Amino acid sequence: MKILVTGASGFIGGRFARFALEQGLTVRINGRRAEAVEALVERGAEFIQGDLSDIECVRRLCQGVDAVVHCAGAVGVWGPYAHFHQANVSVTENVIAACLSQGVRRLVQLSSPSVYFDGRAHQGLTENQVPQRFSDHYGKSRVCCRFVASRVAAQNLARLGGGRREWCSLAKSSNNAWRDFARNPKGRARFSAMLRFSMAHLAG
């Protein structure tokens, strides 16, 4: 299987790409900083640098791959909403459009627990619970990404027929996972479980 991992110069994307290489997959990667993916290239990854806001670039990235793991995006608590919308929502729309045009079989989108955070503590949250307000623009933009991907997935599942395997799968992970990963064995185990969960979505 050949996969594309976006955002491979970041923590989540980089670890997922390395994990995929260790599982024997052929991996194409994209990221903002070439120097940040040198270790992945040395392990056998194919690096293609480019701006995901350029739809033609994204189409080229998606050519010839069986699945896409979309980890790229802007994170943070400061900045105008337009910045987060462009880097998260618009880029996700480009990735989805490119997957459709290039016949990519499966898309796994990694999200964030920020989609549920409204500044208060919560327990027992379900996937369908969305805050009435968000503590920052990042969380709001990530929810928009999820709605975009879910809508397209539903449309394509309906088009293909309910008995066929769905085109798009969604997986969630914590963009703050590096804290637990770096500090304790339990955190590393949870992070590894997230990688295995996402990998299982690639195979369907």
138 given a catalytic annotation: yes
CA angle 168, 161, 145 (to 5 degrees): 25
Furthest-apart CA pair in the chain: how many Å? 46
User: What's the sign of the alpha-carbon dihedral 8, 12, 18, 22?
Assistant: negative
Q: Which of 19, 84, 138, 191 is catalytic?
A: 138
CA angle 103, 108, 109 (to 5 degrees): 120
Which residues on neighbouring strands pair with residue 176, listed in sequence order?
A: none
Which residues on neighbouring strands pair with residue 5, listed in sequence order?
A: 29, 69
E-strand ranges in the chain read: 2-6, 26-29, 46-47, 67-70, 106-110, 168-171
Which residues on neighbouring strands pair with residue 27, listed in sequence order?
A: 3
Task: Tell me which residues are annotated as active site.
Answer: 138
